[in-house]
């Protein structure tokens, strides 16, 4: 698979098999991704690889917190407080595609809440990746992290694995850091589900559209 094909074929997978991913494979993916560029070669990434009983316990605690109505609190603001166009429409369309693929009616609040909880299980993927950033670094390191995370997803494809980058795994950052004994001042950037795609699932079949180059690009000569 060439680079262009890999970039275009990458997608967010939300249904995984229970097949485990061995540690050596994960190490290969992270080693490959570590060649992503970063300002002044700072290499700001710190990753927690969570599997097995630790993942089960962490997922259960996040789901319990969600069910108890504990307010989500992320380490930084990912989404805007007020969505404006064209971003608002893209967000709504994305959600509609997801729920349509799952066969969940927009008015079915119970099913929507149940689906949201699946985020905390990483959609039953065997591996949860959590990406942390030192508080001593600045905004530019988030750009570096984006390039690293994209590299992780592409390297995973070469290993025959699927991924889903998840902002939802930042919802209970304090709980996560307590469980993993990570310093509370570390910034949880995002998480990622990693595993083998469960083929034939409707939720894995849809693709979100992309804007045309001419709609987001201006050439100056």
Residue-wise pLDDT tens digits, 153-166: 999 999 999 999 99
153 domain-assigned: yes
The CB density around residue 163, as the number of other CB atoms within 10 Å, is: 27
- Please report the beta strands in the chain, taking only residues with DSSP state E, as ranges in sequence order: 46-50, 127-133, 162-166, 187-195
Q: Is 181 left (phi over 0), alpha (psi -120 to 50) or beta?
A: left
Does 2 reside within a domain?
Answer: no
- Domain membership flag for residue 185: yes
Q: What is the pLDDT of residue 190?
A: 98
pLDDT of residue 106: 80
Residue 45 belongs to what domain range?
12-78+119-206
Cβ pair 62, 120 in contact under 8 A: yes
pTM of the model: 0.95
Considering the domain boundaries, does residue 31 fall inside one? Answer: yes
**CB half-sphere exposure, 208, CA atoms < 13 A:** 16
Choose among 93, 115, 94: nearest CA to 104: 115
pLDDT band at residue 107, thresholds of 50, 70 and 90? confident
Kindly report which listed range (35-39, 45-49, 107-111, 183-187) carries the lowest average pLDDT score. Answer: 107-111
What domain count does the chain have?
1
Question: Is the residue at 191 inside a domain?
Answer: yes
* CATH code, domain carrying 133: 3.40.109.10
């Amino acid at each position: 698979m060439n680079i262009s094909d890999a970039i275009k074929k990458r997608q967010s997978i939300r249904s995984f098999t229970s097949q485990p991913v061995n540690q050596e494979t994960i190490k290969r993916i992270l080693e490959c991704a570590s060649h992503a560029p970063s300002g002044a070669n700072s290499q700001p990434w710190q990753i927690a690889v969570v599997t097995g009983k630790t993942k089960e316990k962490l997922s259960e605690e996040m789901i319990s917190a969600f069910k108890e109505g504990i307010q989500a609190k992320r380490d930084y603001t990912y989404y805007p407080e007020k969505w404006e166009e064209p971003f608002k429409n893209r967000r709504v369309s994305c959600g509609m595609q997801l729920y349509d693929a799952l066969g969940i009616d927009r008015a079915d609040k119970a099913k929507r809440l149940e689906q949201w909880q699946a985020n905390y299980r990483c959609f039953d993927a065997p591996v949860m990746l959590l990406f942390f950033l030192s508080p001593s670094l600045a905004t530019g390191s988030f750009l570096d992290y984006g390039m690293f995370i994209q590299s992780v997803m592409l390297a995973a494809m070469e290993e025959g694995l699927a991924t889903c980058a998840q902002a939802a795994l930042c919802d209970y950052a304090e709980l996560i850091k307590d469980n993993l004994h990570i310093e509370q001042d570390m910034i949880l950037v995002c998480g990622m589900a990693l595993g083998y795609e469960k083929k034939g699932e409707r939720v894995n079949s849809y693709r979100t559209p992309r804007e045309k180059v001419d709609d987001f690009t201006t050439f100056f000569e």
